[in-house]
Structure 1
Amino acid sequence: MATRPIDARDWIVEVEDSVSGTWLPIRGLNSLTINIAENRETAEITDFDSNGRYEQDTMQNGASLAVEGFYEQDPATGARDPGQAYVDMWADRLSVDSHNRLRYRHETQTAAWAVWDATVEPGEVGGGNNDKSSWSATFTRSGAPTTMAV
């Protein structure tokens, strides 16, 4: 059977509430970028025996996950989307408290979530005169990824 492209809209991203242990979906997303080469470091090992060919070793692996979407809020109560609100609160933490768990998967990946210990960098919120307000965040993995059953 031939492989087929998957729909970008079907990625699911959740953050773990570090107090309750509840996983909170981040709603309102319309863009997701996973960069498995973020913070990758290499060491050049080219020497005279390389016969003029570049050589390197990978010394460090990293990854990031960037999400963008709409700033979501209940029009009646003013309550924020719980996932977005948690990320905004998480982004203000420092030192060891700046770490939190994040998990993601495509809806067709029914066996396991990819799970990261990560830090988060908040993005800009805003828009123009006839726009809906934007919201974004970039998560940077700390340490090795793990998995969790769906």
Structure 2
Amino acid sequence: MPTPTTPVRPIDARGWQFEVQDLSASTETWLRIGLLTSFSHNPGENEETEDTTSFDSDGYFEQDVMQRGASISLASKYAADKAGKRDLGQAYIDDVWTYRLGVDSRNPVRWRHRTQPTWVVWDATVSPGEQGGGTTEKTSWSATITRCGKPSTAAVTPPPAGGGS
């Protein structure tokens, strides 16, 4: 007799977590990117292929993938408290990472759904997005993170006492 299984169900988009590593910290510190309203993961971004179709293909298209890429676009509300202290993840991206150039333009990021036991870790670059809003709106915030190189994974560990994640 077959064993009953739990039905597979869709997961909530709000359960995704995104963090950026603060490379200026003296110890490994990950900063949560807060108040997200949406994200878009494009696992085919910057993919390059080579057409390998030949007379031997009998009229059918053929190709080889020569380069893999990926990006994540994040959208949020520009976040600050009453004293003007910014969301730590947004502030790091806007005030530190965005201004770095060349080999210094790369920074680790990680992301996962809260139900997953591992982080996906990327070495990445960032492109800041537009900020704005109308008279009856909150200010928007966005950024696009582009993977550089092969992704890795890391186990989820409890945050250290006193902060981090």
Q: Does 1:71 align with 2:86?
A: no
TM-align CA RMSD: 0.7
| Structure 2 match to 1:100 | 107
How far is 1:6 from its partner? Answer: 0.6
How far is 1:107 from its partner? Answer: 0.5
CA deviations on 1:45-74 (whole Å, 9 max, x unpaired) are 000010100000000000001100100001
CA distance in 1, matches of 2:41, 2:13: 11
CA deviations on 1:68-89 (whole Å, 9 max, x unpaired) are 01000011x1111110000112
Q: State the AA in 1 paired with 2:103.
A: V
Q: Does 1:2 align with 2:7?
A: yes
CA distance in 2, matches of 1:123, 1:91: 10
CA distance in 2, matches of 1:133, 1:19: 27
- 3-state secondary structure, aligned to 2:8: coil
CA distance in 2, matches of 1:38, 1:2: 32
How far is 1:2 from its partner? Answer: 2.6
Which aligned runs of 4 or more in structure 1 are off by greater than 6 angstroms? none
Q: Is there any run of 5+ residues in structure 2 with no aligned partner, and where? A: 1-5, 157-165
1:131 to 134, 137, 154: 137
1:19 to 19, 24, 33: 24
CA distance in 2, matches of 1:52, 1:91: 48
Q: Highest Rg: 1 or 2?
A: 2
Instruction: Give the number of equivalent residue pairs.
Output: 148
CA distance in 1, matches of 2:78, 2:38: 13
CA deviations on 1:90-137 (whole Å, 9 max, x unpaired) are 01110011000000000010x210000000000001111111000000
Identity of aligned residues (%): 55
CA distance in 2, matches of 1:78, 1:69: 17
2:91 to 79, 85, 88: 85
CA distance in 1, matches of 2:130, 2:86: 16
CA distance in 2, matches of 1:65, 1:6: 18
- 3-state secondary structure, aligned to 1:97: helix
- 3-state secondary structure, aligned to 2:11: coil
Q: Does 1:31 align with 2:14?
A: no
1:53 to 49, 56, 60: 60
CA distance in 2, matches of 1:117, 1:57: 25
